[in-house]
Amino acid sequence: MKKAFPILGLLTAVLLSYALYEAMVVAPREQTMGDVQRIFYYHVPSAWTAFLLFFINFVASVQYLVRRTPEADKIANWIVIAIGVLTCIGAYVIKPLPQGMYPSSVVTTGLAVVGIYFLIKKYFSEQETDILALTTAEVGVVFCTVVLVTGPLWARPVWGIWWTWDVRLTSTLVLWLIYVSYLVLRRFSTSGQTPVLAAALAVFGALDVPLVYFSIWFFRTQHPQPVIGGGGSIDPRMLHVLLINWLGFLSFACLVCWSRYRLERLHRDVEETLALEALLEPRSNVR
């Protein structure tokens, strides 16, 4: 695993460099907005990456809560399987699906949810899920911050305003505030119940992610309609550059999460060792 980290780091550097070249040089110039539209190649991948990290945080938090008791763990497993099955069936039974949704994409999403849940369950212990939740929340907040910064930078020359309190923008800000609150709780609370409270807050915060994503489909907002799905369209060359940038961002997020996860595990191991030494020290003095 130690050898894989520098390989991933090199791959990430190459991907990000290539993605920058594609976004700034290769991608065609948008006719209406001009070069300012190139923020799109960083704004959208940052949002997708943040959503994915918050979803992993949600799954890890749920597992940390339910795996404390075997009965709750078994019930959660069956609920996840049921969600996957119902999603696959509903994709072809519900007619019509919301505009921009296709049965194949719905089925893929349902299977991905089930797969991620059981992969985390297989490779992470109960305590490791808590570390994973903390790590993905920290990195997710960084990417969500990038979204909130690049959005107004894009909006000012296009809309003539930095910010508007519509559903998409407001719900994104609320999402950011929830996860910042999560990190503040993890950082400054010394209670033994802090991981449980934080996991409950993460589950609550994850409910805002679908609202952010679907807000421009079901509400009239200042934010543009999605260019992928939802009746939108995008130049194939732009889509190619967008996906390359997202791949680079995912690789970078994976690299940072990996590094932060290892650091947090080491920190907790040191704390456990110091606590054990503190418990054994009085006994040694008595002898």
**What phi, psi does 230 have (nearest 5°)?**
65, 20
- The pTM (predicted TM-score) of the whole model is 0.88
Q: Which residues contact 114 (CB under 8 A, 6 or more apart)?
A: 80, 81, 83, 84
Within 13 Å, how many C-alpha atoms sit on residue 102's CB side? 6
Cα 154 from Cα 149, distance rounded (Å): 9
* Residue pointed to by tokens 């996906």: 243
Q: Which residues contact 103 (CB under 8 A, 6 or more apart)?
A: 91, 92, 97
| Burial (CB count <10 Å: 0-12, 13-18, 19+), residue 198 | buried
Q: Which of 246, 248, 240 is nearest to 8 (CA)?
A: 248
pLDDT by residue for the chain (287 residues), tens digit each?
A: 667 888 888 999 999 999 999 999 888 888 788 888 889 899 999 999 999 999 999 999 999 999 989 999 999 999 999 999 998 888 888 777 666 667 888 888 889 999 999 999 999 998 899 999 999 999 999 999 999 999 888 888 877 888 878 788 888 899 999 999 999 999 888 777 888 999 999 998 888 888 877 766 666 666 666 666 555 567 788 889 999 999 999 999 999 999 999 999 998 888 888 878 888 876 555 55
Per-domain residue ranges of the chain: 13-21+37-225+232-273
